Copies of this chain bind each other. A is one copy, B any other.
Amino acid sequence: DPVAGKRKAAQCQVCHGFDGMGTNPEVPNIGGESEIYLIKQLRAFRDGTREDRMMSLVAKNLSDGDIRDLADYYGAIEITATVPQF
As a 0/1 sequence over residues 3 to 35 of chain A, the CB contacts with chain B under 8 angstroms (1 = contact) are 100100000000000111110011111011111
Contact A36 B29 (CB under 8 A): no
Return the contact of A37 from the options B25, B36, B82, B84 (Cβ within 8 A).
B25
How many residues of chain A get a CB closer than 8 Å to chain B's CBs?
34
A61 contacts partner chain B, Cβ-Cβ < 8 Å: no
What's the dominant secondary structure at chain A's contact region? loop
Q: Are A82 and B86 in contact (CB under 8 A)?
A: no
User: Can you report 15 A-B residue pairs in the complex whose CB atoms are below 8 A from each other?
Assistant: A18-B83, A19-B82, A19-B83, A20-B81, A20-B83, A21-B79, A22-B37, A25-B34, A25-B37, A26-B40, A28-B28, A29-B33, A29-B79, A49-B51, A79-B81
